[in-house]
Amino acid sequence: MLCFNKTVTYATDHNNLAEIEPKLVPYLKEFDFFSIHDLTEPTRQWVQESKIQNGLLTVQALHTTCVVALNELDEPCLLGDLNGFLRDLIPHHKPYLHNSKIRTKNLCADDKKCDRNADAHMKSFLFGAASQTVIVKAGQPVYGRWQKLCLIDFDGPRERSVAVQIIGE
């Protein structure tokens, strides 16, 4: 049994939906933050680097306001719909207790964003996927026709890290 580990950091410096599809600009609002990074090609490189032929690849977000998702990314309007759905379901400007003065735990004196990100935590809770596991077969991650593995940050701009582990033979 072999085991390969790696930690990779990404900059989520802005909402990148408009870069993915410029037609989405009219549908983005001031407080939307939805930075998405396609991890599909990097996973292929990591499997090749690991030299593991058959096993499991796990990618885990190391932050509570990020998720790792396995879904369609090649149709950008779907991402715009997801962003709009999450904005409507969990709006940024709401009197969340996490953002209030009664909060006494996990305060972030060195991070001004930390105390106003309840919506990002709730979006992450809704997804419920800090990690995804993908089968490795014949030295390649196994994806369905439209599946892509991605990191989604709901609370940037920040630097975000994912832990990668590949186990197998």
pLDDT tens digits along 3-12: 999 999 999 8
Confidence of residue 18 (pLDDT cuts 50, 70, 90): confident
pLDDT of residue 101: 82
Fold classified for 2-168: Jelly Rolls (2.60.120)
Judge whether 143 and 40 are in contact, CB under 8 Å.
yes
* pLDDT score, position 113: 62
Tokens of 9: 């950091």
Predicted pLDDT of residue 112: 64
pTM equals 0.90
Tell me which residue of 68, 164, 84, 65 sits closest to 122, measured CA to CA: 65
% of the chain with per-residue pLDDT over 90: 64
Spell out a b/e string for 92-123, using b for 16 or more CB atoms within 10 Å of the CB, else e: beeebebbeeeeeeeeeeeeeeebebbbbbbb
Q: What's residue 107's pLDDT?
A: 72
Percentage of residues in the chain having pLDDT higher than 70:
96
In whole numbers, what is the pLDDT of the chain averaged over residues?
Answer: 91
pLDDT in tens, 47-69: 999 999 999 999 999 999 999 99
Local confidence band at 111 (pLDDT 50, 70, 90 cut-offs): low
> Which tops the pLDDT comparison, 17 or 43?
43
Tokens 């690849």, residue located: 57
Is pLDDT larger for residue 134 or for residue 96? Answer: 134
Q: Compare 63 and 112 and report the one with higher pLDDT.
A: 63
